[in-house]
Chains A and B, each alone.
Chain A
Amino acid sequence: DTGVSQDPRHKITKRGQNVTFRCDPISEHNRLYWYRQTLGQGPEFLTYFQNEAQLEKSRLLSDRFSAERPKGSFSTLEIQRTEQGDSAMYLCASSLGWGDVYEQYFGPGTRLTVT
């Protein structure tokens, strides 16, 4: 039973470039969440999916950010025209998504550095 995986683990990009991150949830988990964490802070919610439906988006998710989960399995998070303020750890989590089972399991994260 593998956990949540994220790719890449590290990404260095120049300001203005586009980047895309991938998250593979635990198999059979219907919900997939994206969070962003900056140094010394707790993770902040960005968006989440129930299967392929995007159920909620944070105000943090500006129109430069887009997330997809086309077949209800893996998800991608794209940031267009990156800014230095986008530098952070991007975390993905998944949960079973039915009944009253609320446990969210996190992946190792993708560390983004915008130069």
Chain B
Amino acid sequence: QQQVKQSPQSLIVQKGGIPIINCAYENTAFDYFPWYQQFPGKGPALLIAIRPDVSEKKEGRFTISFNKSAKQFSLHIMDSQPGDSATYFCAATYQGGKLIFGQGTELSVKP
């Protein structure tokens, strides 16, 4: 019940493409779902986050879609650029406690 399952494990897209990363959770008590971007050798950087009472949130080229009934959420990256090549993690938490992370998706955007 504490797991967050993320797919795919890796993703390759062309510049300008729209990579989509999916996550699923079981614990309906989770009330905050962030996405993090991590470059090699660096700490994760908060990208965008959503609460379960919202179905979609956009910040710049990043969009989260949230399906509460299916207990799934996804990250879309519009007009992807080579600089977006990184590992992306979804996560979930309850009342600001520990983050439960997905397994990560290694994204490569080809020029």
Contacts and interface: CB of A to CB of B under 8 A. Distances in A.
Contact of A106 (B6, B45, B96, B100): B45
Contacts of A101: 96
A44 B46 contact: no
A42 B103 contact: yes
Interface string B39-82: 00111111001000000000000000000000000000000000
Interface string A44-60: 11001000000110100
Interface string A95-115: 101001111111111010000
Contacts of B49: 102-103
B44 A48 contact: no
A106 B103 contact: no
Q: Name the interface size band of chain B.
A: 20 to 34
B34 interface: yes
A43 B49 CA distance: 17
A107 B99 contact: no
A91 B44 contact: yes
A69 interface: no
A49 to B, nearest CB: 12
Contact of B43 (A31, A42, A55, A107): A107
A93 B38 CA distance: 14
Contacts of A95: 96
A41 interface: yes
A40 B46 contact: no
Contacts of A105: 46
Contact of A97 (B36, B96, B100): B96
B96 A102 contact: yes
Interface string B84-108: 0000010101011111111110000
Contacts of B45: 106
B96 A91 contact: no
